[in-house]
Amino acid sequence: MKRGLKWDGEDSSSTSGGSMEPCKRGRLLEEEPEDVTSNWVCLPQEILLHIFQYLPLLDRAYASQVCRVWNHAFHMPELWRCFEFELNQPASSYLKATHPDLIKQIIKRHSNHLQYVSFKVDSSTESAEAACDILSQLVNCSLKTLGLISTARPSFMELPKSHFISALTVVFVNSKSLSSLKIDDTPVDDPSLKVLVANNSDTLKLLKMSSCPHVSPAGILCVADQCHGLRELALNYHLLSDELLLALSSEKHVHLEHLRIDVVSENPGQTHFHSIKKSSWDAMVRHSPKFNLVMYFFLYEDEFGPFFRYEIPVTHLYFGRSVSKDVLGRVGMTCPRLVELVVCANGLRPLDEELIRIAERCQQLSAIGLGECEVSCSAFVEFVKMCGRRLSQLSIMEEVLIPDHKYNLDEIHWEVSKHLGRVWFPDMMPTCTGLEHSSHWLDHLRRGTRPGRPLL
């Protein structure tokens, strides 16, 4: 049955083949009493709602045209608490976009029902402007989560700063109960964060704002000082400070669960990286002994001077550019809490000693990925033997392993499998294995891109 899709929310049952007036329903019950159980119009509302929750939006829209009952179910508030606006320009994106008429109806009829909202926009300025236009109209909403996602280059950064801030503060002021905010690659600034804190300090638990150049260390410190329930935080390294760590470690602050830091250099030799005191990290560990510290390094080899000079409580460590043997050796000496390590590239000098040191010192290591590196087969077997079955993820490219007098490539998988307690083979190419941190991470890091993040 073909019919045009309408987003105007009007009852289309009078024109749909599935509609039934009360008199017709009565005749149907008299003529076919044995089929009364198949009369979907008589389904209890709670069951109909449960069914609609499993339908994609487009299918729900088609179903809403069957009859008045189903049209009413389409507009039940429970179905509009969670929504993702997909804003794409046909000329620049192949991705589907949320129908403009549907957006109008959401603003008109369901804005006060929205609680969990995200915007997925393409690289065009027009799509980012459309997102801001929607945000500015959410004056009757009380959002719990908000995410702004750029699927390509950060399109929100192309907008006038005042236009973006004006739209965002509408949500900050009216929500009052925002618990999760993801605004990476946006022109958010310190004053807008103060508005966020003033209206949502008691409820904010997650803040993800990497690559926000208009935010200063003082701005993020204001959030940590006031939002004592903050459990997850993601930001660039230039916003990290001793004062921030001490604020997160105060007695009035809850235990932090995840802290993600992006350490990024765009211009070799032109970016200055400050040092964080060991005492600040120690205070963080004492206050939140189980927190995950996730660090992504996109640096050039001569920029690692301030890092890994003393013990640091990092748990998940990713190197997106070539990293020297010296730095990896320091990782083994200074990262005793390390759980996961991914190295995109190292060069042509074998990492035998460095891997052995990491196996000795990092007793919690359970996942490792190596890309354009070199390790002798004997050293690799020794590394696996020392780590044993706690290595739940072992993603090593085949070209990383260098045959020696003890093992060749045909033999090594048997020896490694024996120590792991499961069948293992080196990767032939970067592919996604179903775990977040496998060899597809190496592919992304090698190309300088960053796939979906762990933990945060």
Q: Which residues contact 269 (CB under 8 A, 6 or more apart)?
A: 300, 302, 303
Q: Which residues contact 264 (CB under 8 A, 6 or more apart)?
A: 211, 236, 237, 296, 298, 299
Ranges under pLDDT 50 in the chain: 1-4, 9-32, 34, 36-37, 430-456
Considering only CA atoms, which of 359, 360, 350, 425 is closest in space to residue 395? Answer: 425
pLDDT at 330: 95
Q: Look up tokens 């290595």; give the residue.
A: 391
* Chain-centre distance for alpha carbon 150: 12
pLDDT at 49: 85
Considering only CA atoms, which of 354, 394, 348, 408 is closest in space to residue 374? Answer: 348
Tell me what percent of the residues of the chain surpass a pLDDT of 70.
83
pLDDT at 431: 39
Considering only CA atoms, which of 340, 345, 309 is closest in space to residue 455? Answer: 340
CA torsion angle 144 163 182 114 (round to 10): 30
pLDDT tens sequence across 174-229: 888 999 999 999 999 999 999 999 999 999 999 999 889 999 999 999 999 999 99
Give all strands (DSSP E) within 66-122, no chain letters: 82-87, 116-121
Considering only CA atoms, which of 110, 117, 116 is closest in space to residue 131? Answer: 117
Pairing outcome for strands 145-150 and 180-182: parallel
Please state, in angstroms and rounded to a whole number, the distance separating the CA atoms of residues 48 and 452: 35
Please state, in angstroms and rounded to a whole number, the distance separating the CA atoms of residues 118 and 85: 6
CB-based burial label for 2 (10 Å; 0-12, 13-18, 19+): exposed
pLDDT tens sequence across 286-328: 999 999 999 999 998 889 999 999 999 999 999 998 899 999 9
Give all strands (DSSP E) within 171-273, no chain letters: 180-182, 206-208, 232-236, 258-264
pLDDT at 93: 61
Q: Look up tokens 């029902």; give the residue.
A: 113
pLDDT at 201: 93
Please state, in angstroms and rounded to a whole number, the distance separating the CA atoms of residues 155 and 385: 48
Q: Cβ distance 150 to 177 under 8 Å?
A: no
Count, in order, helices (H) and strands (E) of the chain: 16, 14
| Total residues belonging to the chain | 456
Please state, in angstroms and rounded to a whole number, the distance separating the CA atoms of residues 304 and 299: 7
DSSP category for residue 109: I
